[in-house]
Chains A and B, each alone.
Chain A
Amino acid sequence: MSTPAVSERHQSIPVEFADEEESIKITGFWMFLMTDMIIFASLFAVYAVYRSRTALGPTPQQLFHLGPTVLETLLLLTSSFTVGIAVWAMRHNRLRMVFGWLIATLVLGAGFVITEISDFVSYMSQGATWHVSGFLSGFYVLVGTHGAHVTFGIMWAITLLLQLRRRGLTAVTRRKLFTFSLYWHFLDIVWVFIFTFVYLSGKIA
């Protein structure tokens, strides 16, 4: 691996940016997040237009359960905190701590996904499938895309753990952990919007 001595570049830069090549990859990842953000923006726009198009199906107010979604919010916000600690530990070279907090993140994420799936299942068992209305289509696809992202993130975290176990903290694994945390925080922010614009405002309106 080409790992130019970390200390050669400015000390003030966080370690994950110390290697030029890896830092370019982080820039690239930001660009990717931008495209992903626009995917979500488009889906939000679709949802905003479709939320009143309930056809013969339920309205948002009739459909949503706030309980599970509050739980999901708690789980995901906490997992954003734990992944933050994992990055802090990475910067201080504490591999065991990285493991612990990354696993915690993963478990919280899994809790989120399971809660979301069971919530969806209960909606669908009442007959609220996406075939029923434009509103339900927009809802399932917006929230489901986010859920699919979280699921993908969990699989990513697992491969990351395996790489960390084999290689420890190198320029490459540091950068991978850091980009994973960016991804995870991003999903958290998207969720905040989903929670407010879909669930809360749907329940109130």
Chain B
Amino acid sequence: MPAFLLYLVHTLFPPDTRQPTELGADFMILVTGIGIVYILTRYKKWRWLWREWLTTVDHKRIAILYLIAAIAMLFRGGVDALMLRTNLALPNVQPIGALEYNEVFTTHGTIMIFFMAMPFIFALFNAVIPLQIGSRDVAFPRLNAMSYWLFAFGAMLFNISFVVGGSPNAGWTGYPPLTELAFNPGPGESYYFLSLLIAGIGTTITGINFLVTIIRMRAPGMTLMRMPMFAWSTLVTSALIIFAFPPLTVALALSLLDRTFGSSFFTLGHGGMPMMYVNLFWLFGHPEVYIVILPAFGIFSEVVPTFSKKRLFGYTTMVISLVSIMFLAYGTWVHHFFTMGAGPTVNAFFGLSTMLIAIPTGVKIFNWIFTMWGGRIRITVAMLYQMAFIPTFVVGGATGIMLSVVPADYQLHNSYWVVAHFHNVLIGGTVFGLLSGLYYWWPKMFGFILNERQGKVGFWLFVIGFWVTFLPQYLLGLEGMTRRMYTYPFGFGWHELNVISTLGAFTMGAGFIALVYNILWSLRYGERDLTGDPWNGRTLEWALPSPAPEYNFARIPVVHGVDEFWAMKEQGMTLANQLRPQDVKALELPKNTGMPFMLGLSFFVGGFGMVFEWWPIAIFGGLGVVACLIYAAFDYDDKEPLPADVIRHTEGTFGRLQA
């Protein structure tokens, strides 16, 4: 027995998970865990948690679940970032050593892309899309819950690696042969592959779900060319997801087979070929950067018209540029490894195709500016993020174009220039966009408005912090500092710029704290949104009360043009004053189910078993997955009636029923 225990402790907690940072994290996890359990028990909330949240299939609640996860992951990824920046602040000063530095930049990148940006985007898809297109739910509510739990348990599997067994350490791209067993023993990389595989299934399903929702569930009269631009960007993003995630799945699965079952795909000997992985990964990876940027484009296309009190300029060209970006996104993946040596013809082709993307992107930038031109602009936090986005993203795009010049890329590749470029587009584009969308749709999701003054404080900290962090990194790149180095000596002239960059990073951290403080403060004191239309909005989600009732629309509206809600308001015919009691009909709502949660849990158990190659546990998890699927196949009880009286009552309490 003691021998077994010793083995367990040694496997689960090897020496490198027993360092101060890890022990600190262990302690925090323990304290938070006990705190949560205590509160839930004390206030008898376990049933409530299960009934209302863990089994929910309501897209509006799933949105909130995604959002909570995304903000928690932003915190974790942010702490990682500050650890990295602290290590680099001064030459030869290393609070965390080389090994841990590798782990931290790996978890930082992976978490920020897969477990922060993606769920944040899905939070907004879920919160907004059905309301915006005049639908009662997404096409497949149960699959939607399944997507969430696969994501959530995937994220959990990834996050526990830090304290149980050891983190992955081969970068967010996980290139072989560095991820092969021979060079990287221990559970870390297996965590990486398995958690991304599990979360990836969920993401693929989300793509399918929203594609079908938008294609098949729009309100009558809402033709594709009358859809709000956020719905368009969701449509295009979903299509990108559907085509981009399968190659990632293959790349990860083959790596896992190499590691765990001894195949020879990416090995150095035995006819393996590491560059095959790199190709597959970027076949996913480049579309992925558009998967995270296009939703931000969609958000800005909603925010700008609302706060400029003008119709979106150039609707048709916006659609055309979205769709052409979608196609071009698949033709550029080689620009991530020009240095592979594919030859001048191939590199020239991919260099040019990369530059081409700047054209549709530029069209969009001009359209936003022309929408603001001559508009009655209101400077809200959502609008501020948009106005910061335009110059920031232009710089990020321009430095990307410079990278697409092949000879220049031979110099800049794997330098801090690349780090600065992609943070410039990811933070200046995606994160600014998501924060803008967060402030914009927050009242719709929660029924109260985030405080604008505090929001502006957070905004300035965040934006200034961003520039202070990343502008110096361009220069460091030009001065030859390569990415992923854990420290550097004196005398290279790098230290001033690095200190500045680290100061900027902490400023951004302060911006994050301001955001969280604002959320907590507004939860208590924030202005309640009683009208459902706090911003004088233009699209259908603002026609509903905030937050929307569980059935969304008591009666599905008929759409006559772009900006339908604006037209309704101009004609004095909003949904609020149209509904007569006899118009209300009984509905059927999707019924809650615990299956998606159990499925996620089974995947988690199975994945955990596979990470440590404890086969009985892995098989147990696998059987759980099969059991959940069989249960779902035989479960025909998936609807719940909602009587007309209940709807009348609800609409009545919102004051939306004619007497």
* Partner-B contacts on A (CB < 8 A): 1-2, 24-25, 27-28, 31-32, 34-36, 38-39, 41-43, 46, 49-50, 53-55, 57, 130-138, 140-141, 156, 159, 162-163, 167, 172
Q: In the complex, A45 Cα to B245 Cα: how many Å? A: 16
Q: Which of B143, B216, B243, B262 is in CB contact (< 8 Å) with A131? A: B262
Q: Mark B529-555, 1 if CB is under 8 A from A, else 0.
A: 000000000000000000000000000
> Distance (Å) between the CB of B643 and the closest chain A CB?
15
Would you call B263 and A131 a contact (CB within 8 A)? yes
Extra contacts besides A137-B264, A141-B254 (14): CB < 8 Å: A27-B215, A31-B211, A34-B242, A35-B207, A46-B254, A55-B269, A131-B263, A131-B270, A133-B264, A133-B271, A134-B264, A134-B273, A136-B264, A159-B634
Would you call A39 and B250 a contact (CB within 8 A)? yes
Q: Is B280 an interface residue (CB 8 A)?
A: yes
**Residues on the A chain within 8 Å of B276, using CB:** 46, 49-50
* Partner-A contacts on B (CB < 8 A): 139-140, 143, 204, 207-209, 211-212, 215-217, 242-243, 245-247, 249-251, 254, 257, 261-265, 267, 269-273, 276, 280, 283, 588, 630, 633-634, 636, 639
**Residues on the A chain within 8 Å of B212, using CB:** 24, 27-28, 31
**Residues on the B chain within 8 Å of A136, using CB:** 264
**Residues on the A chain within 8 Å of B216, using CB:** 24, 27
Q: Which of A35, A50, A131, A133 has the most CB of B within 10 A?
A: A35
Q: Which of B251, B263, B265, B634 has the most CB of A within 10 A?
A: B263
Given contacts A131-B262, A141-B263, whether A49 and B269 have CB atoms under 8 Å apart is: no
**Residues on the A chain within 8 Å of B280, using CB:** 42, 46
> Distance (Å) between the CB of A176 and the closest chain B CB?
8
Would you call B265 and A134 a contact (CB within 8 A)? yes
Given contacts A141-B257, A163-B633, whether A49 and B273 have CB atoms under 8 Å apart is: yes
Complex: chain A residue closest to B249, CB-CB: A39
Would you call B246 and A172 a contact (CB within 8 A)? no
Would you call A134 and B245 a contact (CB within 8 A)? no
Would you call A159 and B263 a contact (CB within 8 A)? no
**Residues on the A chain within 8 Å of B245, using CB:** 35
Given contacts A25-B140, A134-B272, A138-B265, whether A35 and B208 have CB atoms under 8 Å apart is: yes
**Residues on the A chain within 8 Å of B209, using CB:** 28
Would you call A133 and B270 a contact (CB within 8 A)? yes
> Distance (Å) between the CB of B193 and the closest chain A CB?
15
Complex: chain A residue closest to B242, CB-CB: A35
> Distance (Å) between the CB of A205 and the closest chain B CB?
17
Q: In the complex, A46 Cα to B272 Cα: how many Å? A: 11
Q: In the complex, A85 Cα to B333 Cα: how many Å? A: 44
**Residues on the B chain within 8 Å of A137, using CB:** 254, 257, 263-265, 272
Q: In the complex, A32 Cα to B205 Cα: how many Å? A: 8
Given contacts A46-B254, A46-B276, A54-B271, whether A130 and B208 have CB atoms under 8 Å apart is: no
Would you call A134 and B271 a contact (CB within 8 A)? yes
> Distance (Å) between the CB of A39 and the closest chain B CB?
5
Given contacts A27-B212, A42-B250, whether A159 and B265 have CB atoms under 8 Å apart is: no
> Distance (Å) between the CB of A44 and the closest chain B CB?
10
Q: Which of B139, B212, B264 has the most CB of A within 10 A?
A: B264
Would you call B270 and A46 a contact (CB within 8 A)? no
The 5 closest A-B pairs by CB, nearest first: A134-B271, A53-B271, A38-B246, A55-B271, A42-B250
**Residues on the B chain within 8 Å of A138, using CB:** 265
Would you call A28 and B139 a contact (CB within 8 A)? yes
Would you call B139 and A172 a contact (CB within 8 A)? no
**Residues on the B chain within 8 Å of A28, using CB:** 139-140, 143, 208-209, 212
Q: In the complex, A2 Cα to B257 Cα: how many Å? A: 45
Given contacts A28-B209, A172-B636, whether A39 and B265 have CB atoms under 8 Å apart is: no
Pick 20 A–B contacts, CB within 8 A, sort by A: A2-B588, A27-B139, A28-B140, A31-B207, A32-B208, A34-B242, A34-B243, A36-B246, A42-B246, A42-B247, A46-B250, A50-B271, A53-B272, A55-B264, A55-B269, A130-B262, A130-B264, A131-B264, A131-B270, A137-B254
